[in-house]
Amino acid sequence: MIRLFFKNQRQNSLDPLVRTFRKMYSQTATELNKLSNNEIGAWLKSFDTVLTDCDGVLWIYNNAIDGAPDVINRFKEIGKKVFFITNNSTKSRPEFLEKCKMLNFRMVEEEIISTAWAAAKYLQNRNFQKKVYVIGSTGVAKELENVGIPYEGIGPDVLTGNLQNLVHGPFTADPEIGAVIVGFDEHFSFPKLFKAASYLDNPDCIFIATNTDERFPMSGKVIPGTGSIVRSVETAAERKAEVMGKPNPLICEGLFSDFQIDAGRTLMIGDRANTDIELGANCGFQTLLVGTGIHGLRDVEIWKKSVDPNDKKRIPDLYLPSLGDLLKYMS
């Protein structure tokens, strides 16, 4: 049902201005700062709604990327609808809003879409009446609390002794558990995997993943992402999760129903092509890749040569080294 909804959104007729840009720049990774001022001005008029990723586009950890707050605030000043859409499940929406205020992004809570919120909303919209086992962080817990859904599983759960102690120990499946949510969990452990898979052995138990981001590379190090945890649980449970985060269009469900955004006049900005840009392709949005995060033009060149149709979805319409570079065209 949800996939048919987004298919219909993509089939909506586009106005001539948007159609022109789609024809000229669709999945070309054209460098925006090499276009003329007139072309960039026309492009700015071709969308009414801006969706943007956060980490790697707007900020890195607790530091705003140069010029990003000014660009976002300017978008709003000139009448664009702006929404932050993040796969990060470690914070609740109020916590993200506090970060926005600290970094000078003039946002309100309703303009922030996180996977923790989306997971809680997904259950609420389906009149879920049971309890949730959570592999995740306090962000998921707080969003479940906000909609009145009980949960358990947050925090460390370490193996004491050996496997026999776990298997023959005091754990008994709680019959009130009706869903398992898997998000980023720095305390992920064998006992948590054992419990999640045991609950999911019941086919009526709902299985939700906040996102499937694979990893977060750092200089000389790799931090495993939520996707590595999700894959572990999927393997043990022999089931696939319903993924809330990008690139699944499900995360945009509320944008279409509550805010009536027009897919043909929406821009998706991101730094990770297999989530942000692919979401844009799945929903029929225009796409802009920025080079301050995970992927860049070198990656795009590889995808252009690929015969895999999924790789083609990762090629953005336009590219900018940094979102802040856009400010000089927005006066």
What pLDDT sits at residue 13?
53
Q: Extract the tokens encoding 108.
A: 């309100």
CA distance 22 to 16: 10
Question: Taking the C-alpha atoms of 266, 87, 272 and 226 in order, what is their torsion angle to the nearest 10 degrees?
Answer: -160
Q: Which residues are annotated as a binding site for Mg(2+)?
A: 53, 55, 271
Architecture of domain 119-243: 3-Layer(aba) Sandwich (3.40)
Give this prediction's pTM.
0.91
Describe the chain by its helix, strand, coil percentages, rounded to 5. Answer: 45, 20, 40
Catalytic residue, from 15, 48, 55, 299: name it: 55
> Going by DSSP bridges, is the β-strand pair 286-290/318-320 parallel, antiparallel, or unpaired?
parallel
Asked about 66 being catalytic, the answer comes back as: no
Cα–Cα–Cα angle for 307, 2, 54, nearest 5°?
70
Q: Which residues are annotated as a binding site for substrate?
A: 246
Catalytic residue, from 53, 185, 299, 317: name it: 53
Asked about 204 being catalytic, the answer comes back as: no
What pLDDT sits at residue 14?
67
Q: 123: Cβ–Cβ under 8 A, 6 or more apart, which residues?
A: 132, 144, 147, 149, 179, 206, 208
What pLDDT sits at residue 148?
98
Q: Which residues are annotated as a binding site?
A: 53, 55, 246, 271
Look up residue 225 and give its DSSP letter: -
Q: What are the residue boundaries of the structural domains of the chain, listed by start?
A: 2-87+247-329, 119-243
Distance of CA 147 to the CA centre of its chain: 21
Find residue 86's DSSP bridge partners.
Answer: 114
Query: pLDDT of the chain along its 331 residues, tens only?
Result: 444 444 445 445 567 767 777 778 999 999 999 999 999 999 999 999 999 999 999 999 899 999 999 999 999 999 999 999 999 999 999 999 999 999 999 999 999 999 999 999 999 999 999 999 999 999 999 999 999 999 999 999 999 888 888 888 888 999 999 999 999 999 999 999 999 999 999 999 999 999 999 887 677 889 999 999 999 999 999 999 999 999 999 999 889 988 999 999 999 999 999 999 999 999 999 999 999 999 999 999 999 999 998 899 999 999 999 999 999 999 7
Q: Around Cβ 68, how many Cβ atoms within 10 Å?
A: 25
E strand intervals along the chain: 30-31, 49-52, 59-60, 63-64, 81-86, 112-114, 131-135, 151-152, 177-182, 206-209, 215-218, 221-224, 242-243, 266-270, 286-290, 318-320
The CATH T-level fold of domain 2-87+247-329 is Rossmann fold (3.40.50)
Q: Where are the alpha helices (DSSP H) in 148-225?
A: 163-167, 190-200
What pLDDT sits at residue 161?
87
Q: Under a CB-based contact definition with an 8 Å cutoff, are residues 19 and 25 in contact?
A: no
What pLDDT sits at residue 12?
52
Asked, colleague to colleague, whether 2-87+247-329 and 119-243 share their fold, the answer is yes
